[in-house]
Amino acid sequence: MERVVLHVDANSFYASVAVLYRPELRGKAVSVCGDPAERHGIVLASTREAKKCGVKTGMAIWQARQACPELICVPPDYPLYVHFSQMMREIEESWTDRVEAFGLDENWMELTEPGFTMADGAWAADAIRCRVREELGITVSVGVSFNKVLAKLGSDMKKPDAVTVLDAAGWRERVWPLPVSDLLYVGPRTTRKLLPLGIRTIGDLARAPTQVMESRFGKNGLMIRAFACGLDTAPVRRSDLSEAIKSVGNSATAPHDVVTAEQARCVCYLLAESVGARLREAGCRCRSVSLSVRRTDMVWAGHQRVLPRPTNITAEIGAAACALWADRFADWLPLRSLGVSVGMLTADSAPMQTELFGEETRRRLEALDASLDSLRRRFGHQVVHRGIVLTDRDFAEVNPKEEHTVHPVAFLRA
CATH of the domain at 173: 3.30.70.270
Q: For the chain, what is the domain count?
A: 3
The predicted-structure confidence for 55-77, as pLDDT tens digits, reads as follows 998 888 989 999 999 999 999 99
The catalytic residue among 92, 100, 106, 316 is 106
pLDDT of 95: 95
CATH number of the domain residue 259 falls in: 3.30.1490.100
Give the structural domain span for 69: 13-79
**How many whole angstroms separate alpha carbon 288 and alpha carbon 308?**
9
Same structural domain, 91 and 212: yes
pLDDT of 347: 87
**How many whole angstroms separate alpha carbon 310 and alpha carbon 346?**
8
Closest by CA to 238, choosing from 86, 109, 395, is 109
pLDDT at 392 over 90: no
pLDDT of 295: 86
Q: Which amino acid is at 286?
A: C
The region of weakest confidence among 197-206, 259-268, 341-350, 380-389 is 380-389
Domain edge (last residue) among 33, 55, 79: 79
Cα angle at 369 between 367 and 374, to 5 degrees? 95
Same structural domain, 100 and 208: yes
In a domain, 293, yes or no: yes
In a domain, 264, yes or no: yes
Same structural domain, 70 and 198: no
Q: Would the pTM count as exceeding 0.85?
A: no
In a domain, 238, yes or no: no
pLDDT of 248: 84
In a domain, 234, yes or no: no
Residues 170-194 have a mean pLDDT of: 94
The predicted-structure confidence for 93-125, as pLDDT tens digits, reads as follows 999 999 998 888 999 999 999 999 999 999 999
The predicted-structure confidence for 287-316, as pLDDT tens digits, reads as follows 999 999 988 877 888 999 999 999 999 999
Domain edge (last residue) among 195, 228, 261: 228
pLDDT of 1: 82
Same structural domain, 265 and 393: yes
- Report which DSSP code applies to 198: T
pLDDT at 39 over 70: no
Same structural domain, 87 and 108: yes
Q: Is 115 left (phi over 0), alpha (psi -120 to 50) or beta?
A: left
Same structural domain, 99 and 223: yes
pLDDT of 354: 67
Same structural domain, 365 and 270: yes
Measured on CA atoms in the order 14, 16, 22, 26, is the torsion positive or negative? Answer: positive
The predicted-structure confidence for 226-250, as pLDDT tens digits, reads as follows 999 999 989 998 866 555 567 788 8
Asked if 46 and 30 count as a contact pair (C-beta separation under 8 A), the reply is: yes
In a domain, 215, yes or no: yes
In a domain, 242, yes or no: no
In a domain, 393, yes or no: yes
In a domain, 241, yes or no: no
Same structural domain, 85 and 72: no
pLDDT of 414: 35
**How many whole angstroms separate alpha carbon 327 and alpha carbon 143?**
48
Residues 183-195 have a mean pLDDT of: 91
Domain edge (last residue) among 54, 79, 104: 79
pLDDT of 36: 64
Packed helices 219-228 and 210-217: angle between N→C axes, nearest 10 degrees: 140
Same structural domain, 173 and 135: yes
pLDDT of 355: 66
Same structural domain, 177 and 300: no
Give the chain's mean pLDDT.
88
The reply to whether 403 belongs to the active site is no
The predicted-structure confidence for 142-164, as pLDDT tens digits, reads as follows 999 999 999 999 999 999 999 99
CATH number of the domain residue 67 falls in: 3.40.1170.60
